[in-house]
Amino acid sequence: MSTDTSTPVQAQEEPIISFRGVDKAFGEKVIYRNLDLDIYRGEVLTVIGGSGMGKSVMLKMLIGLLQSDSGSIQAFGEEVTTMKGQKLLGMRRRVAMLFQGAALFDSMSVAENIKYPLVEHGWGTPAEQDDRVAEVLEMVGMPGIEDLRPSELSGGMKKRVGLARSIAVKPEVILYDEPTTGLDPLNVRRINGLILRLQEQLGVTSVVVTHDMDSCFTVTDRLAFLHDLKMGFVGSIEQAKAADFPALQEFLQGGRGVLGDEEIAGLAEDGVNQ
Amino acid sequence: MNRALLLLGHVGGVASLTGRTFKETFRSPFETKLLVDQIDSSGIGSWSIAVLTALFTGAVMAMQFAIGLEPYGASLYTGKLVSLGIVKELGPTLTAVLVGGRVGAGYTATIGSMNVTEQVDAIAALGADPVRKLVVPRVLACIIALPLLTILADVVGCFGGMLITMDEVGVTWRFFVDQVIDTLSVGDILHGLGKSVFFGYFIAIIGCYVGLNTRGGTEGVGRSTTTTVVAISITVLVSNFFLTQLFFALASHT
Ligand SMILES: Nc1ncnc2c1ncn2[C@@H]1O[C@H](COP(=O)(O)OP(=O)(O)OP(=O)(O)O)[C@@H](O)[C@H]1O
Ligand SMILES: [Mg+2]
């Protein structure tokens, strides 16, 4: 697995995930028309776009939670749209998703939530599972909260437990659906730091959907801008800023500007140490 | 016309959910713990409703028959009519409507709120099957619990009828019990219990189906819950008519 993330890799590598000509509509309402997108190993791809335009729908189509109407979606060289049974299970072990609202199971404790994918995928012995729970809670900066219930957690804590649950089975790709929305600045930094750390230390490929332009500038290798039922722009932040694309410029200006390199590195550290 | 199509779509949806449930039920390993939890909360948690309803229904039937048959000098047949009415009709149907309202609404509320908070998606994303985890244990629990609750309702309903009959008609409890045993055949009891198995299935599958199709946040969950209660009541009462014919037909063939 590649851990080199400093340079865009699309030139030399096959994408590990690709959308080709994907259409999706709910009844009369068209969400995607002819969507194309490639995601490369080890990169952080940020997806931005207006509310209700279908960012969550895209992530759900990618792991087969929603069916596309036509077109092809491939992950690791296999077609997702026709995947079933063990194949689908195997793909979902490699591609994890952090849901927009964390989607913790209310009826279970934090430990049971995190153990859920471990049990379902038959990961390790019960003792190893307990160790892994402690380990991922440590990674998201909340050790020792195994016995709490989701109802006892704040929004930011839920998000981080959701993240711990997603990374428990050591996925190769993580889909983050608005990981920082609604969090206080400190938690935003923590989560951004964790995304970077997973990428740098474990070579995890990340797709981050966000409305938060600061976070976007902090973690992104490439940016995809959802516009007019498809990806209207895909490229680096520099390319995005230089692009002659008024809708995109408007979106980018929503953020306060690009942070310096040192700050970005600092954030990565912070996320680890909190 | 539009509504008929919509209804047809839902019937198709319930049928396809039934198919998936059937398939997942027989895929090992069996999730015993989930089933036991559901039998506990759905079945055992509903016994008091079943008992209370049956007691007063049996009593009021006895009162009507005792007084209504009096002019014809037929009051002594009260026990026969009450027991037949309870065991074949009111025991299974009233239990299903009331328990269905409680349990089915609960299923819809639970699964519906899991759905709008993406917990159902999360089950799938984390490598499990939502139908297997949520629907299978509930359907099995209801199919097991409803006949048991119906037996309880039958016994308590007859008991309520007995108390009133003893008072109004002046028979001894011995007479009433002998009369009931004399009246009821095994076929009569199976007729009621057979229907209750179907009612159990309807309650669970409708509760789960509406829950899984809930959209629109907490408000959607509220709407869905109401839908479920109405749908279950209507389905139980209407299907009862056809199931009764089916069971009569079965009985005449054996
Ligand atoms: N299961 C579904 N059934 C019907 N419509 C749906 C479904 N899921 C999403 N939609 C609709 O598709 C559209 C896109 O939804 P989606 O959740 O992907 O938006 P989004 O881009 O993630 O927005 P936000 O930034 O607010 O999260 C919305 O109009 C939504 O109502
Ligand atoms: Mg979304």
Query: Is the Cβ–Cβ distance between A126 and A92 less than 8 Å?
Result: no
Q: Where are the domains of chain A?
A: 41-67+83-270
From the CA of A50, the nearest ligand is 1
Is B24 inside any structural domain?
Answer: no
User: Over the Cα atoms of chain A, what is R_g?
Assistant: 18
Q: Could you report the predicted ipTM of this complex, rounded to two decimals?
A: 0.85
Residue A262 clears pLDDT 80, i.e. is over it: no
Is B5 inside any structural domain?
Answer: no
Q: Which atom of ligand 1 is nearest to the CA of A53?
A: 21
Average pLDDT, chain A: 87
Is B209 inside any structural domain?
Answer: yes
Look-up: residue for tokens 């689908």? A88
Q: Which has more confidence, A194 or A133?
A: A133
The distance of A212 to chain B (nearest Cα, Å) reads: 22
DSSP state letters, B27-64: SSSP-HHHHHHHIIIIIGGGHHHHHHHHHHHHHHHHHH
Is B165 inside any structural domain?
Answer: yes
Contacts (Cβ under 8 Å, ≥6 apart) of A219: A44, A46, A192, A195, A196, A206, A208
Is B25 inside any structural domain?
Answer: no
Confidence of residue A271 (pLDDT cuts 50, 70, 90): low
Confidence of residue A255 (pLDDT cuts 50, 70, 90): very low
User: Most B CBs within 10 Å: which of A88, A97, A119, as the mutation test of the B interface?
Assistant: A97
Nearest CA to ligand 1 atom 5: A26
Is B153 inside any structural domain?
Answer: yes
pLDDT at res. A141: 86
What fold, for A41-67+83-270? Rossmann fold (3.40.50)
Distance A76 CA to ligand 2 centre (A): 24
**Mean predicted confidence (pLDDT) in B216-242:** 96
The sign one gets for the Cα dihedral B236, B242, B247, B248 is positive
Residue A265 clears pLDDT 90, i.e. is over it: no
A-chain CB neighbours of B125 within 8 Å are 63, 65, 92, 96-97, 99
pLDDT at res. B1: 63
A-chain CB neighbours of B20 within 8 Å are none
pLDDT at res. A6: 45
Is B20 inside any structural domain?
Answer: no
A225/B222 Cα distance (integer angstroms):
36
Tokens of A9: 């890799």
Distance A188 CA to ligand 2 centre (A): 17
Structural domains of chain B, count: 1
Instruction: Give the N- to C-terminal CA distance of chain A in Å, as an integer.
Output: 27
Bridge partner residues of A207 (DSSP): A45, A175
Confidence of residue A118 (pLDDT cuts 50, 70, 90): very high
Least-confidence region, from A38-42, A82-86, A145-149, B162-166: A82-86
pLDDT at res. A204: 94
Least-confidence region, from A3-17, A33-47, A186-200, B105-119: A3-17
B203/B150 Cα distance (integer angstroms):
14
Is B143 inside any structural domain?
Answer: yes
Nearest CA to ligand 1 atom 28: A52
B254/B249 Cα distance (integer angstroms):
9
Distance A51 CA to ligand 1 centre (A): 8
Look-up: residue for tokens 């015993």? B32
